[in-house]
Amino acid sequence: MSETETPFDQRILIGAAAVSEDAPAGADSRGGPEFEELEAQLRRMETDGPAAVNWRQVIEHASAILGTRGKDLLVGVWLAYALAREERYRGLAVGLGIIKGIVAEHWDGMQPPVARERARVGALEWLVGRVAPLLEGEVAEGDWPAVLYAYDQLGEIDTLTSAKLRKEQVGYGDLLRALRPHRDAARRGLEEIAQKQARAEAEAKAREEQASQPAAAPSSPAPAEAVPTPAPAAAPAQPAPAAVPASLDLASIDQLPDTLRGLSAALIARSIADPGAYLLSRIGSWWRIRQLPPNEGGKTGAMPPVEELAAVTALRGAGQNAEALRALNELVWTAPFWLEGHRLTAEILASLGPEHAAARATVAGAMSLLLTRLPELLDLSFNDGRPFADSATRSWIEQSGAGGGGSGSAGPSDGVDRAVSAARSLVAEGKAPDALELLAELTRGEIGGRTRLVRQIAQARFCLDVGLIGAALPLLDHLEAMLKAHDLEAWEPALAVQVAELRFRALTHSDAPRLILEDRRRTALEETRLRLVRLDLATAARLFR
């Protein structure tokens, strides 16, 4: 029997169950008080962030509508998202099970109507874009069945909608990629448990069979041996003087990098917020670098981690930040000259909030350990001409004081970091307007020039990280206009690349089609692509592949 033949949770039945015998799909519930309350709650998420929403109330109203009013795919999507936020993997499994039931049993009668395929696709893609980022981190053993069920249900929904939709198709890729590693881990874990149980049962059976065997007859007793008379007890020996320690074997120090690598892997597996994990991996890797790598005109024989970068990019796109951080931490060892990876690590840690601030500071601080000793690394490149540090990474090194040449003392960037951390805390408390007001203070008063530009870039990055796309898009349009008006592409290429990367993120966000006309969005994407091609071909190829 497959996992879907038995209800994983009784709440799932609400999706397929008929509202009434005469009208299995019920009536259009939109316009009723419960639907209006649902809409009001979801609008709070757009303006104040997810923490401002009463998700239990969303679950209550959405369940009532689907059970007694009518089958509405948008309501089902809202219910699934609310369940995922409240109960994580189990909630997602229940929500996807409900959606599968609605799609399988009420496709022709549910809302939105069959003729509005784009609305149906948009509802499902709204869920995909918002649930995938919730699925980062390790999955507890108790959640393994839920992960398997959720993946199974998503696959069935994909099959059903692919067969039923005439002109449109739903992009489930982000959610499938986010769930797949958890599905694989759950399968392995359950298989290991089954194997242990089988071994335990086999051992217990063997013990029972051994116990049921008749006891062997005792052999003839051996002749008794004469017992010698004990000698008088000797006086207790005096404790020996402590041995003089042998001279240290310095050859064993060569094992230190591998030891630090193993310790780092163990620490980051336990917690991605542990600063020690990031410090140990870097000390272990850079211990091996005693001089600059051989090069001709700055080009070395080292190969860039192209495939690994693509994998990290996919993990980030799927919201698998924990897995991305672990992959980047391993690349510290396998690609020690790839400095871009440290910037990506710091960016991910910054997006995860203040509890990861110490780890982010450790990554930036550790960079100075390497670059103070070998600052020329910034001028070297891989065998394909790709620089060890692209323009965005150079800018990050400069701003974070990780280059080794700066004083590292507190400066304007520290104030920006503190403001961003405080703003993240406000968003977590459901106070997005207060967070934006706090960040707005960074650019008030007589602040101009490069400082203003850097702070506005930080504001835009914050808005993207916390999902405030409606605020990020116009700010990035303004920054784009500033780049053009002042020819900053020539004077500040690193900052121009940062703006382009952020603009790409905003324009490809799932909310962008709702906030900007499609023709304008495509034009802006093409402008962004051309800017990156001019300034950072590797980044352009990575983002627009």
According to the model, what pLDDT value does residue 184 have?
Answer: 87
Is residue 245's pLDDT more than 60? Answer: no
The token pair at 204 is 């217990």
According to the model, what pLDDT value does residue 18 have?
Answer: 94
Same domain, 473 and 545: yes
Give the number of residues written for the chain: 545
Q: How confident is the model over 38-47, as a mean pLDDT?
A: 81
Same domain, 435 and 359: no
Residue 72 lies in a domain: yes
Q: What is the pLDDT of residues 141-177, one digit of tens each?
A: 888 999 999 999 998 999 999 889 888 888 888 888 8
Number of structural domains the chain divides into: 3
Can you tell me the distance from the alpha carbon of 320 to that of 191, in angstroms, rounded to the nearest whole number? Answer: 24
Confidence of residue 411 (pLDDT cuts 50, 70, 90): very low
Confidence of residue 227 (pLDDT cuts 50, 70, 90): very low
Same domain, 43 and 167: yes
Residue 207 lies in a domain: no
Same domain, 36 and 131: yes
Do the Cβ atoms of 124 and 68 come closer than 8 Å?
no
Q: How confident is the model over 221-234, as a mean pLDDT?
A: 48
Q: Which of 409, 443, 469 delimits the end of a domain?
A: 409
Same domain, 315 and 420: no
Same domain, 468 and 516: yes
Residue 237 lies in a domain: no
According to the model, what pLDDT value does residue 3 have?
Answer: 42
Is residue 87's pLDDT more than 70? Answer: yes
Q: Which of 190, 222, 240 delimits the end of a domain?
A: 190
The token pair at 49 is 């962030």
Is residue 447's pLDDT more than 80? Answer: no
Is residue 405's pLDDT more than 60? Answer: no
Same domain, 326 and 366: yes
Same domain, 175 and 33: yes
Same domain, 503 and 435: yes
Conformational region of residue 467, where left means phi above 0, alpha means psi within -120 to 50, and beta covers everything else:
left
Which one of 93-97, 334-338, 453-457, 470-474 scores highest in mean pLDDT? 93-97
Confidence of residue 194 (pLDDT cuts 50, 70, 90): confident
Q: What is the pLDDT of residues 62-84, one digit of tens each?
A: 999 999 999 999 999 999 999 99
According to the model, what pLDDT value does residue 248 have?
Answer: 52
Q: Which of 378, 393, 409 delimits the end of a domain?
A: 409
DSSP strand pairing (295-296 vs 299-300): antiparallel
| String of DSSP letters for 304-356 | P-HHHHHHHHHHHHTT-HHHHHHHHHHHHHHSTT-THHHHHHHHHHHHT-GGG
Above pLDDT 90, what percent of the chain? Answer: 25
Can you tell me the distance from the alpha carbon of 136 to that of 449, in angstroms, rounded to the nearest whole number? Answer: 38
Is residue 352's pLDDT more than 90? Answer: no
Q: Which residue has the higher pLDDT, 374 or 451?
A: 374
Residue 319 lies in a domain: yes
Is residue 417's pLDDT more than 80? Answer: no
Same domain, 362 and 330: yes
Can you tell me the distance from the alpha carbon of 368 to that of 87, in angstroms, rounded to the nearest whole number? Answer: 42
Q: Which pTM was predicted?
A: 0.44
Query: Which CATH number fits the domain that encloses residue 427?
Result: 1.25.40
Do the Cβ atoms of 338 and 308 come closer than 8 Å?
no
- Those residues whose C-beta lies under 8 Å from the C-beta of residue 292, and which sit 6 or more positions away, are 374, 376, 377, 380
Q: Partners of 26 in the beta sheet?
A: 70
Q: Which residue has the higher pLDDT, 5 or 196?
A: 196
Tokens 């272990």 found at:
284
Residue 534 lies in a domain: yes
Residue 229 lies in a domain: no
Residue 149 lies in a domain: yes
Mean pLDDT of the chain: 82
Range of the domain at 448: 415-545
Q: Which residue has the higher pLDDT, 22 or 450?
A: 22
Lowest mean pLDDT across 364-373, 426-435, 467-476, 502-511: 426-435
Which one of 96-100, 308-312, 534-538 scores highest in mean pLDDT? 96-100
According to the model, what pLDDT value does residue 2 have?
Answer: 41
Above pLDDT 70, what percent of the chain? Answer: 86
Is residue 517's pLDDT more than 80? Answer: yes
Same domain, 489 and 428: yes
Q: How confident is the model over 304-320, as a mean pLDDT?
A: 81
Residue 206 lies in a domain: no
According to the model, what pLDDT value does residue 365 have?
Answer: 87
Do the Cβ atoms of 71 and 111 come closer than 8 Å?
yes
Is residue 407's pLDDT more than 70? Answer: no
Same domain, 400 and 420: no
Confidence of residue 412 (pLDDT cuts 50, 70, 90): very low
According to the model, what pLDDT value does residue 247 have?
Answer: 52
According to the model, what pLDDT value does residue 242 have?
Answer: 45
